[in-house]
Chain A
Amino acid sequence: MAILEIVNLTKNFGAFVAVRGVTLQIEEFATHAIIGPNGAGKTTLFNLISGLASPTTGEVWYRQQRLARLQPHEIVRAGMARSFQRVNVFSRRTAFENVQVALIASAGINYNFLRNAGSLFREEALELLRLVRCEDEALRRASELAYGKQKQLELAVALAAKPKLLLLDEPTAGMSIAETKSTIGLIKDVVADRGLTLLFTEHDMNVVFEIASAISVLHHGEIIASGAPEDVRKNDDVRRVYLGQD
């Protein structure tokens, strides 16, 4: 069953069409990769799905719920969380505080003005930081962390929202080879352990073929191929426009 249905989604920026008539189904429990060259429209597509931008035309359905015109927080509450390609955390707060406030929001107690926050979700926050291998950096400001660590923190913050559908926009961009490797391992584990559906973009083909159960290729805002990894790998169009072979 599809957890996410994207129907004829289009986004114009003035005369420029960044996403053009994208129709796509994401199966529940899939690890679905969106690949495509720079500027293909991957991030724009994520922004449309997650409510950061509103589509020019088209619809997005999450389970039986129509997402068009919903605010980001309503979409998050429905069970979808995302990370950002460019690190987007609370840079002046510590890594711990970043995850802690995400857990506060996720528990829906962000209007509670009596409960002291100091010790809230301490264990859970540290657990998440341990998961993304940032436990040693827990008390350091996010902005002081190495870039790779910031990306890992970004992931922890997204996970703290306890999503069913997780959107990761280039989760390993800017990471060292070692960090990339460990992050992929951890994403794989988390997705399996928590029974998540994963929709992600990635430039590193090794990463894509290691974790994707389905791949869609975006080119100039259009889906030119979609399916199982082996099929997409063999697709001639894809080889021509993206993999740069033949």
Chain B
Amino acid sequence: MTSRPQLIFLLAVFAVLAVVPFLGARYPVELATQVMIFSLFALSLNVLAGQTGNLSFGHAAFLSIGGYACAYFLTRLGWPLAVSMAGAVIMSAAAALIIGALCVRLNAIYFSMLTLAFSMLVWAVATKWRSITGGDDGFVGVDVPIYLTNPYSFFWFTLAVCALSVVALWILSASAMGHALVAIRENPTRASFLGMNVKRMRLAAFVIAGAFAGLAGCLLAMYVRGMYPQTAFWTQSGQVIIMVLLGGIHSFIGPIIGAAVLYLLEVITEQYTEYWSFVMGLILLAIVMAFPEGLVGIFSKLRAPRRS
């Protein structure tokens, strides 16, 4: 999953991001903040989908649990930022532990369907549990700490959180566990005959993915200053899958590229037409039909045309 060219790419991305606030316009800063949040969300899914080979159709559940929890802790309980975020990440991880324990018993499409079912439950709870989530109207108004209310400072905060997350996930991806997860993806039966508890490893990946999705949710809730049930809806889970596939499911940086490209395309397309779904459909079609390894796959083919 990891490689030297990808590391160089990541360093370049962070270098470019560090320049964005100095362009003198506010819009690119806000756009970059949004892209970073969704990149982190996509990156978290890829621990499970790309590295371990379990395609969750309900990953938005953990984005929204993290978001609602962070919003609640900051606003209703008045907890400090660090405590609220840590609490929200723990909530997401705990939810992932419970949901994951049931899902990892199943394989392939049954796993995906069960994750979808649980995310719909989370969505239903979000729409109905008015006292906590605000119900259909959403959680409106999040008390963001005063030092993060400025879009520039929030940009830097998001950049720092995402950079730390990327480092952590990179270390995981390149670690003994990361390699073991890839082995499970490639051949779970053989992996179990090496002495690996495949279900428990899958669960570990599920929890890690859920925790980082929850972290992305914290950033999202603070950026939007609110949290809404649509974030838990299955279309959000579908979008992040498309991001991961578009970028390239078998590479570390794929989800980052996919999230950035899809998000920016959406923003641009919506300025000209209301048929974003149509464009997204075409993109998905192109990936599935022609570029199964996503944009990263196209680049590595161009770099080394004779290797497959």
B-binding residues in A (CB < 8 A) = 50, 52, 71-73, 76-77, 81-82, 84, 88-93, 97, 100-102, 104-106, 108-118, 120, 157, 160-161
A111 contacts across to B, CB distance below 8 A: 177, 180, 201, 204
Assess the A92–B186 pair: CB atoms within 8 A. Answer: yes
B172 contacts across to A, CB distance below 8 A: 113
Q: Mark B25-44, 1 if CB is under 8 A from A, else 0.
A: 00000000000000000000
Assess the B190–A90 pair: CB atoms within 8 A. Answer: yes
Q: How far does the Cβ of A74 sit from chain B's closest Cβ, in whole Å?
A: 8
Q: How far does the Cβ of B178 sit from chain A's closest Cβ, in whole Å?
A: 7
- Given A93-B186, A111-B204, also A117-B179 (CB < 8 A): yes
Assess the B176–A88 pair: CB atoms within 8 A. Answer: no
Q: How far does the Cβ of A18 sit from chain B's closest Cβ, in whole Å?
A: 19
B204 contacts across to A, CB distance below 8 A: 111
Assess the B192–A113 pair: CB atoms within 8 A. Answer: no
Q: Is B285 in the interface zone, CB < 8 Å from A? A: no
Interface residues of B in 168-219 (CB under 8 A from A): 171-172, 174-180, 182-183, 186-187, 189-198, 201, 204
Q: How far does the Cβ of B193 sit from chain A's closest Cβ, in whole Å?
A: 5
Q: How far does the Cβ of A88 sit from chain B's closest Cβ, in whole Å?
A: 5
The 11 listed contacts between A and B (C-beta, < 8 Å) are: A73-B198, A76-B192, A88-B187, A101-B180, A101-B194, A104-B176, A105-B195, A110-B180, A110-B196, A116-B174, A118-B174
Assess the B186–A117 pair: CB atoms within 8 A. Answer: no
Whole-angstrom CA separation of A92 from B187 in the bound complex: 10
Assess the B186–A91 pair: CB atoms within 8 A. Answer: yes
Q: How far does the Cβ of A100 sit from chain B's closest Cβ, in whole Å?
A: 7
Q: Which of B178, B191, B201 lies in contact with A117, CB distance below 8 A?
A: B178
| Chain B residues within 8 Å of chain A by Cβ, number | 25
Assess the B178–A106 pair: CB atoms within 8 A. Answer: no
Q: Is the interface of B mostly helix, strand, loop or mixed?
A: helix
Assess the A102–B178 pair: CB atoms within 8 A. Answer: no
Q: How far does the Cβ of B301 sit from chain A's closest Cβ, in whole Å?
A: 16
Q: Which of A106, A110, A160 lies in contact with B201, CB distance below 8 A?
A: A110
Assess the A117–B183 pair: CB atoms within 8 A. Answer: no
Assess the B179–A71 pair: CB atoms within 8 A. Answer: no
Q: Which of A77, A81, A89, A104 lies in contact with B180, CB distance below 8 A?
A: A104
Q: How far does the Cβ of B211 sit from chain A's closest Cβ, in whole Å?
A: 12
Q: Which of B171, B180, B182, B189 lies in contact with A105, CB distance below 8 A?
A: B180
A-binding residues in B (CB < 8 A) = 171-172, 174-180, 182-183, 186-187, 189-198, 201, 204
- Given A93-B186, A112-B175, A114-B175, also A72-B180 (CB < 8 A): no
Assess the A112–B177 pair: CB atoms within 8 A. Answer: yes
B179 contacts across to A, CB distance below 8 A: 97, 100-101, 104, 117
Across the two chains, which residue of chain A brings its CB closest to B194?
A105
Assess the B197–A102 pair: CB atoms within 8 A. Answer: no
Across the two chains, which residue of chain B brings its CB closest to A100?
B179
Assess the B192–A72 pair: CB atoms within 8 A. Answer: yes
B197 contacts across to A, CB distance below 8 A: 71, 73
Whole-angstrom CA separation of A114 from B189 in the bound complex: 25
Whole-angstrom CA separation of A81 from B193 in the bound complex: 7
Q: Which of B176, B178, B183 lies in contact with A90, CB distance below 8 A?
A: B183
Whole-angstrom CA separation of A102 from B186 in the bound complex: 13
- Given A111-B204, A161-B195, also A88-B190 (CB < 8 A): yes
Across the two chains, which residue of chain B brings its CB closest to A111?
B177
Whole-angstrom CA separation of A89 from B188 in the bound complex: 10
A88 contacts across to B, CB distance below 8 A: 187, 189-190
Across the two chains, which residue of chain B brings its CB closest to A118?
B174
Across the two chains, which residue of chain B brings its CB closest to A106?
B195
Across the two chains, which residue of chain B brings its CB closest to A117?
B179
Across the two chains, which residue of chain A brings its CB closest to B191?
A105
Q: Which of A72, A101, A161 lies in contact with B183, CB distance below 8 A?
A: A101
Q: Could you say which of B179, B182, B190, B195 has the most chain A C-beta atoms within 10 Å of its C-beta? A: B195
B171 contacts across to A, CB distance below 8 A: 113-114, 116
Given contacts A106-B195, A117-B178, A160-B194, 6 further A-B contacts (CB under 8 A): A111-B201, A113-B171, A116-B171, A116-B175, A117-B175, A117-B179
Across the two chains, which residue of chain A brings its CB closest to B189?
A88
A50 contacts across to B, CB distance below 8 A: 193
- Given A115-B175, A117-B176, also A52-B186 (CB < 8 A): no
Assess the B176–A110 pair: CB atoms within 8 A. Answer: yes
